[in-house]
């Protein structure tokens, strides 16, 4: 990766000068679950008209939330903030069964935009709880996805927030224990947590399939590949986005000399570029490509115009919109498919 050019110095001799470049990770940005959730809000606004209520941030990205607010979406923390009889959309991170019950009690029309890969983890939790397993849920305390999954089987789930939590974990029967995980974790840290859990509980059962989603794994793999050659790693994403934060950590762990998380290009500090030849760029799974374009433009204006894409996987997965929304769209003669207004690429 990269080029070296020879340029004359003041004496006429030549010195090797590295070309400033950007190593652009691919895949990056929107995953299928995020695109589905954002499109669900956009189409609900088109179909029902504003306001449309959304419980929690539909995805963890400041720009996306602010853009949808301008179109008429109202974000609330709990269903009791939604007027009775109105429409409420549940975020991509999922909700516990009690939230569905609360919405029904208030006669709210619900559109469940939970990512299908999160729903899969919910089903796993219910399945193992039904056979009285202890479920060790690896995830970050307080994250909406963890709260939703735990709510499916609260009497069976124990949260394990990283490797350091392992010594304090207790189970009823060490021969009936399974681990599940939040979908947006660091793959490496999760596997280390599992390794330590298995040392304590040799009969620990794995989930039926990977809980860490394809997009999280793919974005981390691309960052791992370019990190050793990056003097600086810039990840576009919001600070409450678990998968975006993990990308910065992964970059540092795999060789990037420095790394920062930014929502917008304007947040980049020019001092970060001192002595930097190669800048790695990626974005979290809830980040529209328009924000990455802005970062690339900002870098190009400062001499980093050579953009080399580092590709580790191709992605084509899509998810259908929530069923109730599709039914209403079809009845109104409107398209039941589509891509978010903000999901376009370079």
Task: List, by residue number, the catalytic residues.
Answer: 145
Q: Which tokens hold the place of 293?
A: 């374009």
**113 and 37 Cβ atoms separated by less than 8 Å:** yes
Strand partners, 87: 109
**Minimal CA–CA distance to 252: which of 229, 227, 275?**
227
How far apart (Å, rounded) are the C-alpha atoms in residues 28 and 129? 35
Kind and range of the H or E run holding 223: helix 214-226
How far apart (Å, rounded) are the C-alpha atoms in residues 280 and 271? 16
- In angstroms, how far is CA 225 from the centroid of its own chain? 19
How far apart (Å, rounded) are the C-alpha atoms in residues 122 and 77? 21
How far apart (Å, rounded) are the C-alpha atoms in residues 35 and 285? 9
How far apart (Å, rounded) are the C-alpha atoms in residues 248 and 237? 10
Peptide bond into 46 cis (omega under 30): no
Q: What is the DSSP letter of 213?
A: -
Name residues whose C-beta falls within 8 Å of residue 101's C-beta, 6 or more positions apart in sequence. Answer: none
Strand partners, 4: 18
Kind and range of the H or E run holding 254: none
Q: Whose structure tokens read 């190669």?
A: 278
Q: Which tokens hold the place of 70?
A: 């301008």
DSSP-derived 3-state class of residue 340:
coil
Q: Whose structure tokens read 């304590």?
A: 200
Kind and range of the H or E run holding 135: strand 134-138
Q: Which tokens hold the place of 165?
A: 């939590």
């Amino acid at each position: 990766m990269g080029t070296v050019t020879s340029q004359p110095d003041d004496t006429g001799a030549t010195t090797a000068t590295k070309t400033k470049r950007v190593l652009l990770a691919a895949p990056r940005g929107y995953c299928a679950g995020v695109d589905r959730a954002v499109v669900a809000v956009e189409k609900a606004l088109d179909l029902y008209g504003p306001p449309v209520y959304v419980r929690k941030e539909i995805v963890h990205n400041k720009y996306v939330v602010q853009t949808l607010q301008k179109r008429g979406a109202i974000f609330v923390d709990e269903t009791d903030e939604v007027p009775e009889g109105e429409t409420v959309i549940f975020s991509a991170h999922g909700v516990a069964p009690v939230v569905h019950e609360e919405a029904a009690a208030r006669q709210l029309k619900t559109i469940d935009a939970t990512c299908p890969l999160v729903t899969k983890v919910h089903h796993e939790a219910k399945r193992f709880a039904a056979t009285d397993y202890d479920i060790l849920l690896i995830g970050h305390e307080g994250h909406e996805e963890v709260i939703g999954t735990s709510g499916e089987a609260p009497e069976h789930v124990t949260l394990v927030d990283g490797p350091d939590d392992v010594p304090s974990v207790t189970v009823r029967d060490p021969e009936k224990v399974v681990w599940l995980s939040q979908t947006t974790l660091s793959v490496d840290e999760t596997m280390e947590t599992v390794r330590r859990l298995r040392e304590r509980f040799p009969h620990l059962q794995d989930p039926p399939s990977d809980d860490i989603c394809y997009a999280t794994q793919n974005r981390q793999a691309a960052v791992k590949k370019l990190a050793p050659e990056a003097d600086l790693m810039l990840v576009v994403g919001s600070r409450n986005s678990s998968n975006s934060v993990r990308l910065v950590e992964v970059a540092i762990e795999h060789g990037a000399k420095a790394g920062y998380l930014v929502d917008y290009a304007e947040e980049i500090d020019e001092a970060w570029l001192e002595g930097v030849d190669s800048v790695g760029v990626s974005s979290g799974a809830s980040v529209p490509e328009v924000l990455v374009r802005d970062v690339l433009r900002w870098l190009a204006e400062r001499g980093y115009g050579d953009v080399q894409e580092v590709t580790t996987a191709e992605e084509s997965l899509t998810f259908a919109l929530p069923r109730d929304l599709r039914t209403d769209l079809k009845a109104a003669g409107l398209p039941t498919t589509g891509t978010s207004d903000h999901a376009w690429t370079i």
